[in-house]
Amino acid sequence: MASWQMQEAKTRLSEVIEEASKKGPQIITRHGAERAVILSMADYRALTAHKPDLRDYLLGGPKLDDFEIERDLDPGREIGL
C-alpha cells in the first residue's frame, strides 16, 4: 500500500484516487500517523457486500424445530435439615 502525506494527498487528490483504483488502497498520514485510507469503489463494495443484517443473522442459526429436552426423573437425595 502506498502512503501519502495529508498535504500531498490534498494537492494531488485525483492521482491518489487513480492509484487506489489501479494499485489498491492508499494510506493518508498526518504527522507520521496513519489517519485514513482511500479505497476504490470495487474494494469498498467487496468489503460491504457480504454483510448480513441482524434479522438474517439470527434466523440463519441452528434450527430448533425438533429440539426436545428430556427431564431426568431422579428426585435426587434427601437432605435432613
pLDDT (0 to 100) of residue 59: 85
pLDDT (0 to 100) of residue 62: 82
Question: What is the block-wise mean pLDDT of the chain (81 residues), using blocks of 10 residues?
Answer: 94 96 96 96 90 84 81 85 81
- The superfamily CATH assigns to domain 2-59 is YefM-like domain (3.40.1620.10)
Which helix (H) or strand (E) element contains residue 26? strand 26-30
pLDDT (0 to 100) of residue 51: 77
Residues constituting the chain = 81
Cα angle 69, 72, 74; round to 5: 170
Cα angle 47, 52, 56; round to 5: 175
- Where in the chain are the domains? 2-59
